[in-house]
Every structure is written in C-alpha cells, then in structure tokens.
C-alpha cells in the first residue's frame, strides 16, 4: 500500500504506514497506560480488520462442514475453504493446488514430513542435516525420527555473525544425506539463508529439502519453484492471519508417494473392515474437520499482503531495520547478536549486567512489547555464548517513532539496573 509523492519532479512510491496501521485495531490500544508499541512480530503478528471479519463472517453466515454437505451453507463453506487454498498456491507460486496441504502451522508441517516422508525412508547410517540456527520445531521432529530409524541428525555450523557456514554445508553433504531441513529466515537472528543455493547443492547429492518459511512469508516474496524446495512450511499467525492454521507445500510426486500421517474422516476414498483406500491430494493429509475459519482467514491474510505488495513491505522493514540497528548501537552497554548482511527485520541484543527477561519486563512497563528468552533456539544460544537475548521484531505496521520509543525505554532499563 503506497501513495505517490514528488521527489525532484520524479514520481516515487512511499509506503503509507499510517494507512496500514489504521487496519489493525489492536495497535490503537494502550499497554500499562502508554500507547502500545508492538515489536513481537516474530512470535505472532496482529490481525487486520479484514482477516477478523473473514473469520467472524464464516461463523456468522456460512458455518458448516466442508466437502461432504449438499446444502447451501456447506457449499459456501467449501467454496471459501478451497478458494483459500488457491490463494496460498498463487502466493507461493506452487505448480498445482494439490500441492497445498492445510495444517495447524509450520510445526505440524515439519512433523508431517518427518513422519510421512522421513520415517519410511531413513535407516541406519542415513543423515538428516539441519542448521545450528533452527527453531526447536525443525530439530525435535527430526531427532524423533532419527531415533526411531537409526539415522543421524547433523547440524550445519554457523559463524559468529549468525551466518550459515556454506563451506561446511557443502562438505557435510554426502551419499548418506537424505534430507536437508533448513530455516529460510532465522526467528532469533533475522539471518536470511540462501535456500535456493542450498537446495541446488542438496539435490545434486540426491537429498530432498524442506524449508521452514514461517519467518519469511510475511516479509518477502517467496517462490517455491524458484527455490526448488521439495517441501515448504508456513504459519498463518506470523503473516497477519489466524492462529492454528498454516500450510505445507510439497511437490506433488513426493506427496503422492507418502502415506497419510493422520487418519479419519475426509482423508479416505472408501472404507471397509478389510481395506481402506485414501483420498486424492491434498485431502489425503487433511484428516477430520479442518480449521475452516482459519483457512479462510489465512486466505484473507494472503490477499492483504498481496494487495500491499511484499516488495514494498520488504523495503519498509529494511528501512526500519537499518534505523533500529543504528540507534541501538548507540545505547551504552548494548550488544547486537546476529549481524548477518541482508538480514530480515529482527534485532536481538543483550545488555551488560541485565538479564533479557528484566529488559523485557521494564520495556513492558513502558508499553513496549518485545520477546526475551532463547526463542526456542537453545542450541543457537549455546553456539553464540548467551543464555538468552532480547528481541525486537518488526512488521509492516511499525514506525521509526516506535524505534525511538524502544530506545528511550532501553534508557529506562539502564536507569533501573545501573
């Protein structure tokens, strides 16, 4: 969403953040008696009115189960649910709508792939590669499957700036590498990994690639065919959509060859006591009544992002990141953690003599919402030599004025703790 402004006689597009903010009712409230400054977008984003209205509208007018009903409400619910799938397909540039499976979020998507693709194919001596910056949800499912199958889980190292060691990654790829599971954008550091390059190298060795896109899809355009990811997972609530909904993209040939992960209604074609045949894609992986309202809300969030334009979103957030990086670097006793070039709009930091939880508590009293802790990345924290960090993560509705409020509130932290 932009407006046109004059720039030396040349028309340019300016991101209209004030107009964007008007669409988010949660941002207008106060926190602890102060205007809310919401900088916890990597944990979850706020929701625009149109997403809230889409979810409420389903329950108010169209509430019915999908696919199996022959009455009007079921027809409308099914049409809206499947339209959301089409929107996600176009959003990711998937080749076929059958390649989009609705799941509860990125975590469930990883678990589905680990259990349905990984477990039947891994054996003793096989290897799964993840990076040292992964979220626990892209570590633990692979640990479980490796323990069940005798395969090994190996971590690709990173450097002190929080960047993947590409030389080590290439060295680790070998004939026993079966799966590479790699985060697109680090939730703790903002590092953007070269996932297309990583996929090319993995495919050359015969491995399949899963990309965790939970932190990427709200901040940059994603093309799964350009990346050549075999699987790509996302969470709706991190991209201005509802909680409890997400999507798994998988190449159709791989999904066709995978057994169902969960069983029950709608994932079947026919059932007898002697034999069950499974439904076609993607329904083979959508057992039971789905989160219909969530999928509709996710589709609306996708439409919202596409109408604003992800290139504009990325440019706005990078301006915020540059500004915040410069201002935070001037705060006495503050050290940034994770300084990869080209990173996403996340700043993690520590302050001398102050625990990150205490930073977060004082900032909360100033109306500033950040995240403090290990960010579900305990191996990463250990690698970087910190127990935890404070993390400010920006979204499309944040402003430079809010960065200034953050900096002022950090001054209050120093006053409290000396």
Residue 57, Cβ neighbours under 10 Å: how many? Answer: 17
CA-to-CA dists, residue 104 to 52, 218, 243, angstroms: 18, 17, 8
- φ and ψ of 96, to 5 deg: -150, 140
* Helix spans in 237-291 (H): 252-257
Residue 121, Cβ neighbours under 10 Å: how many? Answer: 16
List strands edge to edge, sheet with 334-337.
Answer: 334-337, 346-351, 389-393, 371-373
Distance of CA 149 to the CA centre of its chain: 28
User: What is the Cα Rg of the chain in Å?
Assistant: 22
* Helix spans in 274-388 (H): 292-308, 310-329, 356-365, 378-384
Per DSSP (E only), the strands in 361-413 are 368-369, 371-373, 389-393
Residue from 376, 383, 412, 414 carrying the catalytic annotation? 376
**Residue closest to 383 by CA, chosen among 129, 132, 128:** 132
**Residue closest to 391 by CA, chosen among 135, 211, 174, 199:** 135
67: CB partners within 8 A, 6+ apart = 74, 78, 266, 283
Catalytic status, residue 376? yes
Cβ 85 vs Cβ 100: under 8 Å:
yes
Rounded Cα distance between 215 and 304, Å, is: 17
Catalytic residues: 376
């Amino acid at each position: 969403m932009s407006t046109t402004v004059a720039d030396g006689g040349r028309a340019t597009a300016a991101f209209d953040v004030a107009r964007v903010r008007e669409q988010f009712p949660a941002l207008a409230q106060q926190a602890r008696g102060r205007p809310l400054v919401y900088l916890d977008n990597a944990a979850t984003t706020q929701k625009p009115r149109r997403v809230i209205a889409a979810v409420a509208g389903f329950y108010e007018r169209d509430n019915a189960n999908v696919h199996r009903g022959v009455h009007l409400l079921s027809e409308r619910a099914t049409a809206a649910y499947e339209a959301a799938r089409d929107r996600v397909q176009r959003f990711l540039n998937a080749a076929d709508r059958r390649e989009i499976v609705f799941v509860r979020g990125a975590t469930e998507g990883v678990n589905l792939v680990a259990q349905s693709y990984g477990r039947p194919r891994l054996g003793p001596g096989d290897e799964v590669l993840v990076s040292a910056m992964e979220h626990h949800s892209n570590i633990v499912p692979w640990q479980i499957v490796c323990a069940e199958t005798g395969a090994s889980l190996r971590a690709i190292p990173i450097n002190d700036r929080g960047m993947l060691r590409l030389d080590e990654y290439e060295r680790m790829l070998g004939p026993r590498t079966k799966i590479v599971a790699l985060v697109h954008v680090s939730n703790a550091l903002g590092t953007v990994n070269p996932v297309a390059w990583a996929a090319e190298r993995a495919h050359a060795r015969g491995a399949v690639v899963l990309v965790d896109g939970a932190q990427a899809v709200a901040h940059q355009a994603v093309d799964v065919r350009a990346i050549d990811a075999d699987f790509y997972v996302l969470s709706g609530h991190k991209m201005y959509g509802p909680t409890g909904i997400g999507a798994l993209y998988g190449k159709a040939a791989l999904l066709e060859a995978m057994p169902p992960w969960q069983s029950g209604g709608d994932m079947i074609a026919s059932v007898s006591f002697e034999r069950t045949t499974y439904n076609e894609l993607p329904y083979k992986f959508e057992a039971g009544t789905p989160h219909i309202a969530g999928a509709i809300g996710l589709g609306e969030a996708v439409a919202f992002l596409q109408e604003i334009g992800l290139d504009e979103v990325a440019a706005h957030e990078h301006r915020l990141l540059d500004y915040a990086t410069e201002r935070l670097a001037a705060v006495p006793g503050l050290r940034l953690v994770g300084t990869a070039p080209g990173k996403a709009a996340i700043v993690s930091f520590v302050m001398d003599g102050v625990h990150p939880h205490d930073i977060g508590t004082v900032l909360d009293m100033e109306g500033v919402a950040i995240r403090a802790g290990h960010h579900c990345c305990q191996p990463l924290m250990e690698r970087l030599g910190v127990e935890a960090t404070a993390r400010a993560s920006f979204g499309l509705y944040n402003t430079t004025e809010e960065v200034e409020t953050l900096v002022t509130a950090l001054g209050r932290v120093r006053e409290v703790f000396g």
